[in-house]
Amino acid sequence: SQRGFVVERYRDEAVGVMTRNEQRRWWVSTVTLTPRIDYDAAHAPTATEEQELHHDAHAECFIANSIKTVVTVKASP
């Protein structure tokens, strides 16, 4: 919204993978996000702008900067 884009709907099917750590305890080692975002047609980013938004959001994300888990964002189909 700070850049003038309007999201009408956001959906995601996050997938987490659990593995054992060095102490043989289970932990969520990877998370893959596949966001599907519907924008208001008059306030939608270009494909390049959307890629920049995802990159910037991940770089500033509190969770991504606070956990050991690898978080990957895939393009939606």
The whole-model pTM stands at 0.70
76 — pLDDT class (breaks 50, 70, 90): confident
If DSSP codes are grouped into helix, strand and coil, which group holds residue 74? Answer: coil
Q: Would you state the pLDDT for residue 55?
A: 87
E strand residue ranges, the chain: 7-11, 15-20, 26-33, 36-39, 70-73
Q: Would you state the pLDDT for residue 72?
A: 85
* pLDDT tens-digit readout, 3-56: 999 999 999 989 999 999 999 999 999 999 998 999 999 999 999 999 898 889
* pLDDT tens-digit readout, 55-70: 898 889 888 888 888 8
